[in-house]
Structure 1
């Protein structure tokens, strides 16, 4: 899920402010480990799985290749779909000129969320961090989630490193925990200073005076995972995103996924990501990964399209969502086609055919 999950709630805002705290937590995530100064070609092996095996699996995924797509309605009106990477790495921020030109000429830009505040009240509500902790009467402990032991260590270290205090692993709501895990420790070095690609594109839209549509409320993920009936989905989210916190000794894995993204091989990045998670989470991994995807990708893709639909009918939309939302039978490309749109890939420099 290295291309997923852009949110900015009150929880994340406080995380930005506190990211310099907890100096000894997530100690492996040093500048040297995190910094990617040269984009590699994809290695022969990712996640201890031969590249050919991963490529064979990716070949089964519809629309597995391509980041940029043209959307044409039956009336000839056009919009564009761009798969983002939620990273502030300089290679990721170097968005192709064709994509930037399209954004500049758009009537409307639509992103997963619009994190700007709509009113003084919305600002006040967010910076007061409502409903971050469980009620005082709660008897919940993190161990109730029955996750692999390593997961507890990684999550404890992460929230400690964000300044929340590791002891709050038992007191933060499940939605709050998921929010805190969405940002990689390697992004801490740029947090609040250099935007991720989504925020960069939104900034460019802002400069150009292009209106922005948020496809879902900023607080949606937290609100969803805080509901008792969604606890199993929250458990899956926490486990999978915690697996990305496993100690690393080099930027090799993240660099490989970024290289795949720049080459447009989104499906291959997805199957490699799954293989890495399965290698870390043991027998529960398949079920956890599928449970998470059922909401984080599949359900939200339907909701994104419903939110964007009226605007797409008018044309002139620059629709930007995480690249993992594009491929697959329930991906944005096929969902748009099912709605009657013609969706065609636009190859970009550096991408494979």
Structure 2
């Protein structure tokens, strides 16, 4: 799910730091409200995925040089007081680690900011038709209404790259304060690593996000905007549902919930929805997972490593845990305090 992409969170934070504050998200847990038949379908979909539950894991592998050890913590990129308990549980592993791996460290964040300052076209459209020219009047009106709730004026929204606008729409207006805080679990781990003098390395280049979405067609990007708009009225509910699932250690549950919910969106069919979700999962999660494995393995050769990244990257048949198993690692879940 796109709310888990930390590089996009960093991009959005650069914009929203200068915008008005918003109320905290207060909504209903949509999974808890599912009818029994739909809940059973969701539970079956989650159960079909390996390592579907749990945010904290250990992977070990015996080699001729000794034992390699990796601790993996799935993160939630927004600020939340419940992170304190997680930090306390992960702290001993962070103290023993030789390296902290994250999606984007301080150097990558600085490089991202510099790249945007040098080339605003990475995020804004300067040539060709703008979004108001590419969308129906009613659709664009819905976009401007949604962006106003986030403090973004229509003239600015009209210039955004379509993929970036879809990401902003995927972040509820009520979550903007947490994004501004830039104090998600990733950020807290990076700050603690700095205190310890622990090297922080990135799992991927800072510009991964641009190549990721640059490969999408114009129609695919517009489709992402329309999908986000269809969920706009329940933005707070989705935000609460996401956070509840994460802190319950059930991050795969939110992905499967959104996949099944997409079948009911206006103009959707199950086949079309499944195709779109498969495309998004491959581009945003599975391809990145595969690229991360050599980076994780290389770090593990130098001593214990703590790898922290969006929780949705852990489970699944092409999740980081399953990929590590294929490389000969034995993975086991580690306990975290209940929230």
Equivalent residues in 2 for 1:212-251 (5 A)?
A: 212-227=200-215, 230-231=217-218, 234-235=221-222, 237-244=224-231, 246-248=232-234, 251=236
Cα distance in 2 for partners of 1:309, 1:231 equals 36
Q: Structure 1's 130 and 261: CA in aligned 2 closer, same or farther, altered over 3 A?
A: same
Query: CA shift at 1:2, angstroms?
Result: 6.8
Normalised TM-score (structure 2): 0.82
In the alignment, what sits opposite 1:344? 332
Cα distance in 1 for partners of 2:76, 2:247 equals 9
Cα distance in 2 for partners of 1:200, 1:168 equals 32
Cα distance in 2 for partners of 1:129, 1:96 equals 37
Structure 2 residue corresponding to 1:311, chosen from 281, 296, 299: 299
Cα distance in 2 for partners of 1:168, 1:89 equals 29
Where structure 1 has 5 or more consecutive residues not aligned to the other structure, the ranges are 22-29
Q: Check whether the contact 2:2–2:167 (CA below 8 A) recurs between aligned residues.
A: no
Structure 2 residue corresponding to 1:260, chosen from 210, 235, 245: 245
Q: Check whether the contact 1:298–1:331 (CA below 8 A) recurs between aligned residues.
A: yes
SS of corresponding position for 2:181: coil
Q: Does 1:95 pair with 2:86?
A: yes
Q: Does 1:334 pair with 2:319?
A: no
SS of corresponding position for 2:301: helix
Q: Check whether the contact 2:59–2:69 (CA below 8 A) recurs between aligned residues.
A: yes
Cα distance in 2 for partners of 1:115, 1:157 equals 34
Query: CA shift at 1:291, angstroms?
Result: 1.4
Query: CA shift at 1:144, angstroms?
Result: 4.2
Deviates more, 1:284-293 or 1:159-168: 159-168
Cα distance in 1 for partners of 2:321, 2:263 equals 27
Structure 2 residue corresponding to 1:45, chosen from 28, 33, 36: 33
Cα distance in 1 for partners of 2:237, 2:229 equals 18
Q: Structure 1's 213 and 77: CA in aligned 2 closer, same or farther, altered over 3 A?
A: same
Normalised TM-score (structure 1): 0.79
Cα distance in 2 for partners of 1:107, 1:255 equals 35
Query: CA shift at 1:212, angstroms?
Result: 0.8
In the alignment, what sits opposite 1:130? 120
Q: Structure 1's 317 and 233: CA in aligned 2 closer, same or farther, altered over 3 A?
A: farther
Q: Structure 1's 88 and 184: CA in aligned 2 closer, same or farther, altered over 3 A?
A: farther
Structure 2 residue corresponding to 1:31, chosen from 23, 38, 41: 23
Q: Structure 1's 280 and 175: CA in aligned 2 closer, same or farther, altered over 3 A?
A: closer
Q: Does 1:4 pair with 2:7?
A: no
Q: Structure 1's 67 and 42: CA in aligned 2 closer, same or farther, altered over 3 A?
A: farther
Q: Check whether the contact 2:163–2:224 (CA below 8 A) recurs between aligned residues.
A: no
Cα distance in 1 for partners of 2:157, 2:97 equals 44
Q: Cα deviation per residue 1:300-334 (whole Å; 9 max; x = unaligned)?
A: 11112233231123331111111111111100100
Q: Structure 1's 153 and 85: CA in aligned 2 closer, same or farther, altered over 3 A?
A: farther
Alignment root-mean-square deviation, CA: 3.5
Where structure 2 has 5 or more consecutive residues not aligned to the other structure, the ranges are none
SS of corresponding position for 1:201: helix
Q: Check whether the contact 1:96–1:348 (CA below 8 A) recurs between aligned residues.
A: no
Query: CA shift at 1:153, angstroms?
Result: 4.8
Query: CA shift at 1:169, angstroms?
Result: 4.5
In the alignment, what sits opposite 2:51? 63
Q: Check whether the contact 1:236–1:292 (CA below 8 A) recurs between aligned residues.
A: no
In the alignment, what sits opposite 1:24? none
In the alignment, what sits opposite 1:26? none
Q: Check whether the contact 2:74–2:308 (CA below 8 A) recurs between aligned residues.
A: yes
Cα distance in 1 for partners of 2:119, 2:275 equals 32
Structure 2 residue corresponding to 1:278, chosen from 240, 253, 263: 263
SS of corresponding position for 1:73: strand
Which has more helix, going by share of residues? 2
In the alignment, what sits opposite 1:15? 15
